[in-house]
Structure 1
Amino acid sequence: MTTLPPAVAPRSLVQQRSGWRMLVLVLVLAIALLALMAVRKGRLMGDSAEYLLMTAAMASHGSVDIRKTDIAQVRGLMEPHMKVHLDALEKGLNDSAVTVPLPGFYRGLDGKVYAIHFSAYSVLAAAPYKLFQLTRINPVKCYQVVNLALVFVLGLALMRLFDSAPRALAGVALYMLSGGLLYWNWSSPECMSAAALLAGFAWYCSGAPVRAGLMVGLASLQNPSIVLTLGALPALAWCLQPGMPLRDGIKAALRPRPLAGLLLGGVLFAVPLAYNQHTFGVTSIIAKIGTSKELIGPGRLHSLFLDLNQGMIIAIPAVAAMLLLWGWRGMERAQRNRRALALLLCCALAVAYSVPAMMVQNWNSGAAGVMRYAFWCAMPFLFLLLWRLRQAARWPRALLAGVLLVQAAAMQAASGYSETEFGPIASFVMRHAPSLYNPEPEIFAERASGREDYNVDAARAYAYRVNGIVMKAMYHASLPDVATALCGKGQSTSGGKQGRRSKGVWIYLNGPIRCVAPVNVTPDRFTSATTVIQGQGWSVLEQPPGKPAGMWSQGDVSQLQIAYAQPGAYTQLVIRGGYFDGNKRTRVIINGTDTGWHDLQAGTPVGIPNAATTSTLQVELRHESPRSPGPKDGRKLALFLLQAGVQ
């Protein structure tokens, strides 16, 4: 008698549908990401020299110490301008006395040279790098593989969060439009860290804590402050379950699987610390040589979140607006309170992430529009919006479409400039309302000068110009001659108002500010010059022996007319001369406005009323005590005019 195998029970309809949804997600997402790779060349951006050399080293000899053969291997992959840096690095390899052969590299305790960034990102890229070498594909595309592989993993996490392939794909699209599109093709770990962090939030709060711990730990390998997420995840999960008592939330966090996930993330975080201790003798070589606690402050915190060139607001303008304006609709009070706690927790996380970032010396570092730190620091807020969408039975399609369009526009705008250029929003504000934008001095200096150099020069003035007109300028308080620094020798500034001080010593000037050559006309040229025209109340031109020619005032009042082509070009009237006995001051009236008494012998400039709209000055000088010099000269003299002009 033949024994038949036991019948296999068919999967439930729910399981079959879930399997089909996962298959659809995998296929669509894989095809989309592969297509993205196919149409874009790999780019070396960010800390490319470090990561590329570590990748080449790992692919060649299975370790991340940098050798001459590694430098030779990457020369053809890097831009020509990097040759001088690679030469310096190669030279430093041979000299054991050189501790830092090139910024970004440091000699370890074993005498070998290593990159100062941890190698996890490069180790992950080593296998595709080697494969591309063998298949004659540009090895630089290995970073596309690592970045998009994490985006794919994010898609799997969002599939668990939504249990819907279209919604999971929409979530991936929202991630890409919140900074992912800017950094997926960079040879630096920002895209990997952000995707892993967002996946960690999604998996932990949807009941997969071990996978969440793995993702958060992976993200923290290159950006250590992300490890703080592990302490916040249990509290965040409780906040998102409005009906759960606090005691039950604590019990849920202490179950074996959540604890195992948090422990796994903590172990991964500890790997770079152990590596740094073993290799350099400190837990973080970057913290030792490239950071300063004195740099932490409200200015940099504001800059990370709200700077109009590189702040987080540039990355997620519509996401933030939708979260704040729609994320609370239709909720009961208890649920709103819990959601408010979740938002406060996410704000605290984002600030905590940013504290180590604020210590770095090169604040205005390589960026694709949005600051690299601001990109992944935004993930807690993006997750909150995704969780709110998870709870919605029907998505607000019109609203969400608008958000996606605004985010797409934000990505397009951010992709058009680098860390040495002003972005379109910052440029617009500086053209129309410059007093509203006062960035960190390093940001303004490097973008105004068009070069990255975090040692801002106190001996020069930095300016943002439009058609030759300074719309905003910045200078150090110790600079003796701002006008010369801005405009060159022999010129002065016209217009502008002093604005906010940054860090106490950097002063902003808000334009428009024009550079103009001062106009100074002597009386012998009054009749031939069109700028200054002599009016009533003056005597004849005189030339005292060995002294400049001049002209005495005659009577109680003397008049001048000064005209120039450009309204607002000058802000001060300058009249110089010498007083006759008994006269020490003159009342100066400009275009009918009495400016008060002035000592014209001292040459003190007089402010021009309504200078911004004025191009002709009707000047009336009322003398204090005009008198006759003697019986043979009946003129009433007060001021011997030597020069008149504007500046």
Structure 2
Amino acid sequence: ILAASASWQSQPLLVIAIGYLAYYLFDTFWRNKDQAHQYKPVTLFNSIISILLILAIPYLYNLTVFGVWSPWTKLQNIWTQYYGFGIQNISIFKLYEQFFDLNMGLFWYSPVIFIIGLATAVHLIIQKKAQTIFILSLFVATAFFYQTNPAWHYGTAGFGPTRHILFFLPLLIYFFIHQKYNHMKNAILITSIWMISQGYILYFNGFLCPNFLNVLQHSPFSNYILSNYPTLYNPTPEIFIDRTNHTDLDHPTTAVYKVNGICKKAYVLIQDKEKVMQDCGYIPQTYAGKFTSNMIAETDRVYSYTGFYI
């Protein structure tokens, strides 16, 4: 019920709600066959219908008020217009970015909880704990479902992680708490390290008064790598362009990351090549990648090079 209610604010959480419902039915009628007869069909039916109705409310509201099942399909930023809404946006690399991207990855927001929580989960998986395997698979599937939104990279306040992976944090906290520590000293030490590690994140974000405009800024981690080792950080265009230009526009733009006026890295649209050459002096011959859109005919408008200035 809680997951279903949370999906009102963040629709992909319905994957978790439906998964929990499926697990409940499996646990009730398959794994505990001997006790299944104790459940009254009417009571079970009412429970299932109640959860499904809770899930349906935001979709029915959107359909009534906006004429669409999801407002995600009506976003007017560049990425929605060019990439479209749907499973064509899903990729393993984006999953990696949701966890480890220097700007919006969950790992950089809470590294101690991430490492210990994930290590505990892996240990349980090795022990073939079916419940852990199911829940982790469900959460990963939800992370992929978030990627159907072309605006999947939007962050939280300050330099926090993308809000489209933040749902994973409570699960990692659960595994973090349930880690079996051999001695109280170990527990105190790890807890102290966790508190210190969160301190620098709070410092970056202004403690209790975060700068909300930082969602369109590169994080301190990203700034350091881009300034000193630009070839090591190759995010998807939507991350680099929005945070380099500090904008969220409805049309494609070239993005050039500079340090003291010196070009370090660029995502260059074809029609801007001459302008970038004038600004930076040249465009490197070696490019890390390019991106196009299959959703529109004018692919030349969004065809882009990634150049490194070292």
Per the TM superposition, whether the score is higher than 0.5 is yes
Which structure's residues are more often strand, by fraction? 1
User: In structure 2, which of residues 252, 259, 263 is the aligned counterpart of residue 470 of structure 1?
Assistant: 263
Whether the 8 Å contact between 1:220 and 1:269 is mirrored in structure 2 is yes
Distance 1:382 1:408 in 2: 17
TM-score (norm 1): 0.37
1:125-148 deviation digits (Å, cap 9, x = unpaired): xxxxxxxxxxxxxxxxxxxxxxxx
Equivalent runs, 1:139-538 vs 2, <5 Å: 213=1, 215-233=2-20, 247-248=31-32, 255=39, 263-284=49-70, 286-290=71-75, 292-293=84-85, 296-298=89-91, 299-326=93-120, 336-338=127-129, 342-343=132-133, 345-355=135-145, 357-365=146-154, 367-368=156-157, 369=159, 370-386=161-177, 388-389=178-179, 396-414=187-205, 415=210, 418-457=214-253, 461-477=254-270, 479-481=272-274, 483-484=276-277, 486-487=279-280, 492-493=281-282, 498-503=286-291, 505-512=303-310
Do the aligned partners of residues 262 and 427 (structure 1) sit closer, same or farther apart at CA in structure 2, a change above 3 Å counting?
farther
Alpha-carbon deviation of 1:484? 2.6
Do the aligned partners of residues 347 and 435 (structure 1) sit closer, same or farther apart at CA in structure 2, a change above 3 Å counting?
farther
Distance 2:34 2:105 in 1: 36
Runs of 5+ in structure 1 lacking a partner? 1-212, 513-647
Whether the 8 Å contact between 1:276 and 1:283 is mirrored in structure 2 is yes
Do the aligned partners of residues 301 and 477 (structure 1) sit closer, same or farther apart at CA in structure 2, a change above 3 Å counting?
farther
Whether the 8 Å contact between 1:475 and 1:482 is mirrored in structure 2 is no
TM-score (norm 2): 0.72
Distance 1:349 1:249 in 2: 27
Residue identity over aligned pairs, in percent, reads 17
- Give the number of the structure whose alpha-carbon radius of gyration is greater: 1
Alpha-carbon deviation of 1:266? 2.4
CA RMSD of aligned residues (A): 3.9
Alpha-carbon deviation of 1:353? 4.4
* Amino acid across the alignment from 1:272: P
Whether the 8 Å contact between 1:343 and 1:384 is mirrored in structure 2 is no
Partner of 1:507, secondary structure, is strand
Whether the 8 Å contact between 1:228 and 1:353 is mirrored in structure 2 is no
Distance 1:261 1:475 in 2: 54
Alpha-carbon deviation of 1:280? 3.8
Partner of 1:481, secondary structure, is helix
Count of matched residue positions in the alignment of Structure 1 and Structure 2: 279
* Amino acid across the alignment from 2:85: K
Alpha-carbon deviation of 1:338? 0.6
1:309-357 deviation digits (Å, cap 9, x = unpaired): 112223332212012335566x7xx982116x624642442332442x3
